Amino acid sequence: MARASNRFVCQSCGAVHGKWTGRCDSCSEWNSIVEEAAEATVPKGVSRSGGKAVAFTSLDGAPENRTRRLTGLKELDRVCGGGFVPGSALLVGGDPGIGKSTLLLQAAALLARAGTSVAYISGEEAIDQIRLRAHRLGLADAPVSLAAATNIRDILAALDAPDAADVAIIDSIQTMYVDTLDSAPGTVAQVRTCAQELIRVAKRRGQTMILVGHVTKEGTIAGPRVLEHMVDAVLYFEGERANQFRLLRAVKNRFGATDEIGVFEMTDAGLAEVANPSELFLAGHSDTVSGSAVFAGIEGTRPVLVEIQALVAPTALGTARRAVVGWDSGRLAMIIAVLQTRCGLNLGSHDVYLNVAGGLRISEPGADLAVAAALVSAHMDQPLPLRTVVFGEVGLGGEVRGVGQADARLREAANLGFERAFIPARTKKGKKDTGNLQIAEIAELRDLFNQFDAPAKPKAIDAV
Ligand code: TYD
Ligand code: MG
């Protein structure tokens, strides 16, 4: 047999190179190539003799009864699409210290208290540290099977046993290793092999396998992209460390909607669920300040109201600055261009700052009209009419286009005591449940200007 030589694997994208180079040809990352022992060679070509024909079946067979395992943390359950699915693998990624271990320990303890057998295997923390945390969280009495281990062979021996737990949490996949591979824990080969072995056992035994993954400085889960392909669902736990709010976001889910978010608050007794995120994102919002618009958005299956703030100031330097937090900067450039071309609002010599309050990141085009309203309000130094929500997509021609789920957005706004809504013209909406909301239909972006009380008085901010 040919001697297995070492290979050079990019730790960022997983590409394999014949020799070491400073920069990966396939993803252009610098210093990401690490020498690894070659894996056992896969036989080339397949002979057809001796193969057992696969058995085909039909689509309409009764699916296996898979009762989901509800953790009781409603935000987590919803993001998973209604609890953990037996025989599935879930990857939870996030920055260090964001609260992944805390969240999963809480979920583990709640599940265990409800009678599910749960194993929590940590490769990062010692038993004492985890116990200390459990005490702090008031969960020390929960019957969770706790272990500190990193060797996959030992872990599999425990998880593949007849009395193995139904839910296993591996914190984290980057600390686990397979002793038949030479490379260090955390390398592409190790992460991939460890995950493969764990997932195989989970699928066979109907366990729920939860893997914690580190993220790189770019914010994606460290290790090969293939890890995200291997698992059934990928959740990201995000938030500003300085801010106590945390968002759990599904970016892939074979059993539910993606773009679903769960909102938590980090308290000294662990993570608390935030049942009504709109109230959180609107905290501190003032109707009487210019440059602020409330966007009625949809995150996953849920309407969420969030404040969009804009600041427009004459530029001190030659080139105008555009800084965006929580929205796409390309989209902001587009809105500024449409405002200029179609409405004659020239921001070319102004710095523009845009911020989505509360640390949320919006990806819906439906926020266009709210951004435009915030910009116009900032530029005119005139607040929007009191208690107004805005949504709608803006096209390059300056037309305002409809967005989905208008009813749900309007209902949420009415529930939270809003009185007006700027929405796209010809929006299909049911009459019910939108309360006394006064609706202004906007067909063209330039119609937005008529919604402000003209003429604008500089710095005149009316009291309520
Ligand atoms: P942790 O779950 O260890 O983060 P990760 O596993 O994602 O690295 O979270 C640790 C942080 O959470 C730490 O900085 C302290 C904070 N924390 C609280 O504020 N309250 C608590 O009750 C707990 C357990 C942690
Ligand atoms: Mg941790």
Tokens (6 digits) for 453 = 């009380």
pLDDT band at 115 (very low <50, low <70, confident <90, very high): very high
Number of Cβ atoms within 10 Å of the Cβ of 266: 18
pLDDT band at 461 (very low <50, low <70, confident <90, very high): very low
Ligand 2 is an ion; residues with CB less than 5 A from it: 101
pLDDT at position 199 over 90: yes
The pLDDT assigned to 431 comes to 57
**Distance (Å) from CA 179 to ligand 2 centroid:** 23
For residue 102, give the ligand 1 atom closest to its CA: 2
Give the model confidence (pLDDT) of 208-239 as tens digits. 999 999 887 666 666 656 788 899 999 999 88
Q: What is the mean pLDDT of residues 157-164?
A: 90
pLDDT at position 300 over 50: yes
The pLDDT assigned to 430 comes to 63
**Distance (Å) from CA 104 to ligand 2 centroid:** 9
| Residue nearest to ligand 1 atom 11, measured at CA | 97
For residue 172, give the ligand 1 atom closest to its CA: 6
* Integer CA distances (angstroms), 155 to 120, 195, 197, 210, 442, in order: 11, 12, 10, 14, 60
* pLDDT higher at 44 or 360: 360
Kindly identify the ligand whose nearest atom is closest to the C-alpha of 174.
2
Kindly identify the ligand whose nearest atom is closest to the C-alpha of 269.
1
For residue 271, list its beta bridge partners: 266
The count of C-alpha atoms lying within 13 angstroms of the C-alpha of 44, restricted to the half-sphere facing its C-beta, is 2
**Distance (Å) from CA 60 to ligand 1 centroid:** 46
**To test ligand 1's pocket by mutation, which of 266, 267, 268, 271 has the most ligand atoms within 8 angstroms of CB?**
266
| Residue nearest to ligand 1 atom 20, measured at CA | 268
- Phi and psi at residue 61, in whole multiples of 5°? -65, 155
Closest CA to 154 of 187, 178, 180: 178
Instruction: Report the alpha-carbon distance of residue 367 to residue 365 in Å, rounded.
Output: 5
Kindly identify the ligand whose nearest atom is closest to the C-alpha of 95.
1
* pLDDT higher at 16 or 44: 16
pLDDT band at 110 (very low <50, low <70, confident <90, very high): very high
Q: What is the mean pLDDT of residues 10-14?
A: 79
Kindly identify the ligand whose nearest atom is closest to the C-alpha of 132.
1
**Distance (Å) from CA 364 to ligand 1 centroid:** 31
234 SS3 class: strand
The pLDDT assigned to 459 comes to 41
* Integer CA distances (angstroms), 103 to 136, 233, 258, 267, in order: 13, 16, 20, 12
This prediction has a pTM of 0.77
pLDDT band at 463 (very low <50, low <70, confident <90, very high): very low
Q: What is the mean pLDDT of residues 50-63?
A: 81
The pLDDT assigned to 45 comes to 67
The count of C-alpha atoms lying within 13 angstroms of the C-alpha of 141, restricted to the half-sphere facing its C-beta, is 3
DSSP state of 63: P
pLDDT at position 323 over 60: yes
Q: What is the dihedral of CA 107, 109, 115, 120, to 10 degrees?
A: 90
**Distance (Å) from CA 100 to ligand 2 centroid:** 6
Instruction: Report the alpha-carbon distance of residue 425 to residue 395 in Å, rounded.
Output: 13
**Distance (Å) from CA 249 to ligand 1 centroid:** 18
The pLDDT assigned to 241 comes to 72
| Residue nearest to ligand 1 atom 15, measured at CA | 97
**Distance (Å) from CA 90 to ligand 1 centroid:** 20
| Residue nearest to ligand 1 atom 21, measured at CA | 270
For residue 270, give the ligand 1 atom closest to its CA: 22
For residue 266, give the ligand 1 atom closest to its CA: 19
Tokens (6 digits) for 48 = 């057809």
Give the model confidence (pLDDT) of 123-153 as tens digits. 999 999 999 999 999 999 999 999 999 999 9
Kindly identify the ligand whose nearest atom is closest to the C-alpha of 105.
1
